[in-house]
Amino acid sequence: MTDTAIEAAALGKRFGWRQKGWALRDCTLRLPMGRVCAVVGPNGAGKSTLLAHAAGLLVPTEGSIAVLGTTPAAARERMAYVAQDKPLYPQLTVGETLRMGAELNPRRWDAAVAGRIVEEGGLDLGSRVRSLSGGQRTRVALALALGKRPELLLLDEPMADLDPLARHQLMGTLLADSAEHGTTVVMSSHVVAELEGSCDHLFLLGGGRVRLAGPMDALLAAHTLVTGPIGDLAPHTVVESRTTGRQMTALIRPEGRVGPGWQTDAPTLEELVLAHLRAPDAPALTLTDEDDTYVEEETYDAHDDGDAHDEGDAHDEGDRDGENGDDENGDGGTSGAETRGASV
Ligand SMILES: Nc1ncnc2c1ncn2[C@@H]1O[C@H](COP(=O)(O)OP(=O)(O)OP(=O)(O)O)[C@@H](O)[C@H]1O
């Protein structure tokens, strides 16, 4: 029995030999069992690529990834993965889809939870999947995933096409069910505000690299927001600073006490994430449960060996080579960082 849900060591993925861009590079991280982990980052950061590796749908170009103490292929029965485009059989009805889930997972199937998720959305078991809206399909995909009673649930932007009420309600069901069964959940999302309070672990990716990784509380505690007259913040590590008139606001990683004259505040998750997205060259930081202190990693240049956001290469050469024979992420995801408001 392992206490680790996901462990990646120097994981790297390069799509197509002619492309210079790496979708993921030097990705080393560990997720303990039982956590609810948010995976955030701008478009094209590598979130879907990381989740697809964990699901065993992509083969690493370099490095390795282990899931539930074994290879992703060997763990497939014990995990569920909901891809961004929520693939389902359009010609089946909702009821037939759930029966298929039961037949494919005879030893694990939890008909009660699958039925509840569908019922809470008011879905008719006789409706064909092709006649459902995007949000209704998401509900069926989540019913299939939770019905499998997985030890690890991988969700790629699960809530993106749900209305706010459905989002809130489904997230509640998902978290309550996961807490009851000790399911590890890994969920990518652009709605950071929604993740605060739901997730206890964070992976922030940028340019295919790990920028922040670790328990949410520890990551938040390792940072301080300071405001004061423009001045030198040494010896603290400044992640990002902005000036307004003679005032300066900065997100720092304090090295000891912050001097007098600075007003200090604890950052919210959104402030932490947005500051790192606005400052792509800030040093990466990985924390573990055991860390009381944190270790900074070397600053990297996200573009030094090929830009994973290079739209021209990814799309024009026509060599997006999803290992499953189809484009893993048809939306391309290459528009770069968007760092305003509650979304990243
Ligand atoms: N099948 C593929 N073939 C070629 N390039 C790909 C493929 N899948 C992803 N990429 C590229 O890898 C990079 C990372 O993509 P990925 O989909 O993992 O990002 P993401 O963080 O999930 O983005 P988004 O938030 O837009 O969903 C992007 O530059 C993307 O164009």
Say if pTM beats, i.e. exceeds, 0.90. Answer: no
The distance from CA 275 to its chain's CA centroid, rounded to whole angstroms, is 17
Ligand 1 atom 3: residue of nearest CA: 320
Domain ranges of the chain: 4-91+147-213+301-316, 224-266
Residue of higher predicted confidence among 250 and 261: 250
265-280 pLDDT tens trace: 999 999 999 999 999 9
Ligand 1 atom 17: residue of nearest CA: 48
User: Which superfamily is assigned to 4-91+147-213+301-316 in CATH?
Assistant: P-loop containing nucleotide triphosphate hydrolases (3.40.50.300)
Ligand 1 atom 5: residue of nearest CA: 320
20-34 pLDDT tens trace: 689 999 999 999 999
Residue to probe by mutation, ligand 1, list 14, 15, 327, most atoms within 8 Å of CB: 15
Query: Which atom of ligand 1 is the closest one to the Cα of 328?
Result: 1
| Percentage of the residues of the chain whose pLDDT score is greater than 70 | 83
16: CA distance to ligand 1 center in Å? Answer: 12
Q: Is the pLDDT of residue 264 over 60?
A: yes
Partners of 224 in the β-ladder? 252
**ipTM confidence:** 0.98
Contact in structure between 5 and 32 (CB atoms under 8 Å): yes
Question: Who contacts 62 (Cβ-Cβ below 8 Å, separation ≥6)?
Answer: 10, 11, 12
Block residue for tokens 């301080």: 224
Cα–Cα dist 38/32, whole Å? 13
Ligand 1 atom 18: residue of nearest CA: 46
Residues with CB under 6 A from ligand 1: 15-16, 21, 23, 41, 43-49, 308-309, 314, 320-322, 327-329, 332-334
Phi, psi dihedrals of residue 96, rounded to the nearest 5°: -65, -35
Q: Is the pLDDT of residue 323 over 70?
A: no
State residue 218's pLDDT score.
Answer: 95
